[in-house]
């Protein structure tokens, strides 16, 4: 895709450490999966341009500035400063770790407190390729998204690439209308 774009939107990747945020961003950028786990310190930044349709069906080229925020508790003190200017978020949990699901409301609250407003948030149930290890059902994820009035729910896998592009395209559409 060329360097030309119609809009630029800052979006954030949020969720517990180890839920797969960085792997999803890397899959989105490179269409590859890396198995090694590296803790994100503070944040990482990535840029990719996508083409989506606005609410009127008009094509819009959006440059996404993706901020991958550290999920570990020890980075709480610094993380909130990275939210400034965000127009959307992908909230990620690991379907094989119940603790990452139980923390979701904390992330929504943190986002709203940091920005002083609600932005579009799309819930991503990640690591769905680990079928035998899954402890959080599709219904539980859908119910949470509905209960909290989130902008969407998708099941993703950074390993297989399932719904990764869709997640970022959906977020881009939501962010341009925000």
Q: How far is CA 40 from the centre of its chain?
A: 15
Residues 6+ apart with CB under 8 A from 48: 28, 29, 63, 64, 66, 168
Closest CA to 49 of 178, 177, 176: 176
Full set of structural domains in the chain with CATH? 7-176 (3.40.50.300)
Q: What is the pLDDT of residues 57-96, one digit of tens each?
A: 999 999 999 998 765 564 555 557 788 999 999 999 999 9
* pLDDT over 50 (residue 175): yes
Q: What is the pLDDT of residues 129-148, one digit of tens each?
A: 999 999 999 999 999 999 99
* pLDDT over 60 (residue 39): no
Confidence of residue 46 (pLDDT cuts 50, 70, 90): confident
* pLDDT over 50 (residue 114): yes
Tell me if residue 18 falls in helix, strand or coil.
coil
- Whole-prediction pTM value? 0.90
CB contact at 8 A, 158 and 164: yes
**Predicted local confidence at residue 41, as pLDDT:** 44
**Predicted local confidence at residue 40, as pLDDT:** 47
Sign for the CA dihedral angle at 54, 13, 100, 133 comes to positive
C-alpha dihedral over 139, 95, 126, 173, to 10 degrees? 30
Tell which wins on pLDDT, 5 or 42: 5
**Predicted local confidence at residue 1, as pLDDT:** 45
* pLDDT over 90 (residue 3): no
């Amino acid at each position: 895709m060329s360097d030309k774009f119609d809009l630029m939107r800052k979006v954030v990747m949020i969720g517990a450490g180890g839920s797969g945020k960085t792997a999803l961003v890397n899959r989105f950028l490179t269409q590859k999966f890396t198995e090694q786990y590296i803790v994100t310190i503070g944040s990482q930044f990535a840029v990719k341009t996508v083409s989506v349709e606005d609410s009127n069906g008009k094509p819009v080229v959006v440059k996404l500035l993706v901020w991958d925020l550290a999920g570990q508790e020890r980075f709480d003190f610094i993380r909130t400063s990275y939210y400034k200017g965000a127009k959307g978020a992908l909230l990620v949990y690991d379907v094989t770790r119940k603790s990452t699901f139980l923390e979701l409301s904390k992330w929504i609250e943190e986002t709203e407190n940091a920005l002083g407003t609600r932005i579009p948030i799309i819930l991503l149930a990640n690591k769905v390729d680990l079928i035998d290890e899954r402890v959080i059902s599709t219904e539980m994820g859908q119910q949470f998204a509905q209960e909290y009035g989130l902008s969407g729910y998708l099941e993703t896998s950074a390993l297989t690439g399932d719904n990764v592009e869709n997640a970022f395209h959906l977020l881009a559409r939501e962010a341009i209308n925000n």
